[in-house]
Amino acid sequence: MFWDILSKILILIGGFFMFVAALGVLRMPDLYMRLHANTKSATFGIGFLLLGAAVHFGEFAISIRALSILLFLFATAPVAAHMIGRAAYIAKSPLWGGTLSDDLAGKYDKKTHELTAEIEEPKAAKKN
Amino acid sequence: MRYFLLNIILALTWAMLNGEINSGNIIAGFIIGYIILYVAQRALGAPPYFGKISRLIQFVAFFSVELVKSNIKVASDVLTKHNYMKPRIIAVPLDAKTDAEITLLANLISLTPGSLSLDVSNDKKVIYVHVMYAEDADAAKREIKNGLERWVLKLFSSDKKDRLS
């Protein structure tokens, strides 16, 4: 009885975060923030759904599978987000008007897309 | 690594002696094996394994709390009409040196809502992060350096330090 309720609660929380992720894609003002909503809330939501499934079945084989899906998701989702974000920045996808500052501006080499690291700090300035 | 394998073998032995291999038995076996190894470590020579495991558990707890907190923050921002977004792209200087450390750090930054690692500079000195809530750029940088990066360095550094001593 207790495990039944627990698995239902977990699945509901998971569904809620998936919904938030989908809504975030619609509501966020620029690509980068859409990525925010999408990668995190979605992995979080899937995590809860899988936990709910593992609790519901309560079997070793299924729990292990749920756990490994979760591990792979946690390892791969940020990589995808990083590649999409980088590609978007190089393709000059516009930042939202409310963005306060952009340290990346002008750091990419236009042809090779190599990224320099000039930090505007006293230490770095002295070297130059 | 040797101790981790020993621990797994002890966990499996425990589960087999119980006559059934299921998650409860394996976890119980792992904990009991850990305690046995901890008691026996003086005879076997003190390894870095024990500090590492407890640090790993601390880190997982810390990261879970962060994950829940910031997910709720982002969710409230998506669902309500107000938005408190103060996005910036900030450059965070890296203390992490090896590829593994930087990869783990970048992944963790991307996993905590409110920050998304965009790129690492070619000389691996700076990581560029898109943050959602950063009224003060320096505070946001400090948060990443003192929070996640410190943990990542701690998790990795124990290896070398213990080997030297």
What is the model's pLDDT at position A11?
Answer: 92
What is the tens place of the pLDDT at every residue in A58-94?
Answer: 777 788 888 888 888 888 888 888 888 888 888 877 7
pTM of the model: 0.71
Nearest residue in A to B111, CA atom: A40
Cβ pair A39:B23 closer than 8 A: no
- Does residue A109 lie within any of the structural domains? no
* Nearest-CB residue to B116 (from A35, A60, A103): A35
Residue B19 has pLDDT above 60, yes or no: yes
The total number of residues written for chain A in this structure: 128
Burial of B86 (0-12, 13-18, 19+ CB in 10 A): middle
Q: What pLDDT band is residue B164 in, cutting at 50, 70 and 90?
A: very low
Cβ pair A41:B74 closer than 8 A: yes
Cβ pair B130:A85 closer than 8 A: yes
Q: Which residue has the higher pLDDT, A34 or A112?
A: A34
Cβ pair A41:B130 closer than 8 A: no
**A124, two tokens:** 């770095």
- Does residue A96 lie within any of the structural domains? yes
Residue spans of the domains in chain B: they are 2-44, 82-164
Distance CA A5, CA B137 (A): 44
- Does residue A44 lie within any of the structural domains? yes
Q: Domain B82-164, what fold?
A: Alpha-Beta Plaits (3.30.70)
- Does residue A126 lie within any of the structural domains? no
Interior/surface letters B122-153, b for 16+ CB within 10 angstroms, e for the rest: eeebbbbbbbbbbeebeebbebbeebbbebbb
What is the model's pLDDT at position B113?
Answer: 72
* Nearest-CB residue to B116 (from A23, A36, A105): A36
Give A83 to chain B, closest Cα distance, Å.
8
Q: What pLDDT band is residue A118 in, cutting at 50, 70 and 90?
A: low
Residue B162 has pLDDT above 60, yes or no: no
Kindly state the average pLDDT of the residues B51-76. Answer: 80
Contact B106, B152 (CB under 8 A): no
Nearest residue in A to B23, CA atom: A60
- Does residue A123 lie within any of the structural domains? no
* Domain that includes residue A37, residue range: 2-100
* Nearest-CB residue to B71 (from A32, A41, A64): A41
Q: Which residue has the higher pLDDT, B85 or A22?
A: A22
Which of B119, B123, B129, B148 to probe the A interface (max A CBs under 10 A)?
B119
What is the model's pLDDT at position A123?
Answer: 44
Contacts of A104 in chain B (CB under 8 A): 89, 91, 118-119, 128
Residue A21 has pLDDT above 80, yes or no: yes
What is the tens place of the pLDDT at every residue in B72-128?
Answer: 877 787 777 666 677 788 888 888 778 888 888 888 888 877 788 888 877 778 888
Residue A122 has pLDDT above 80, yes or no: no
**B143, two tokens:** 């948060």
Q: Which residue has the higher pLDDT, A109 or A46?
A: A46
What is the model's pLDDT at position B135?
Answer: 75
Q: How many domains are contained in chain A? A: 1
* Nearest-CB residue to B117 (from A20, A75, A82): A82
Chain B 96-155, residues with CB within 8 Å of chain A CB atoms: 106-114, 116-123, 125-126, 128, 130, 132, 134-135, 137
Contact A36, B86 (CB under 8 A): no
Which of A20, A109, A111 to probe the B interface (max B CBs under 10 A)?
A20
- How far is residue B70 from each of residues A73, A83, B115, measured CA to CA in Å? 19, 23, 10
Which of B12, B18, B20, B23 to probe the A interface (max A CBs under 10 A)?
B23
- Does residue A113 lie within any of the structural domains? no
Q: What pLDDT band is residue A127 in, cutting at 50, 70 and 90?
A: very low
Complex ipTM, two decimals?
0.72
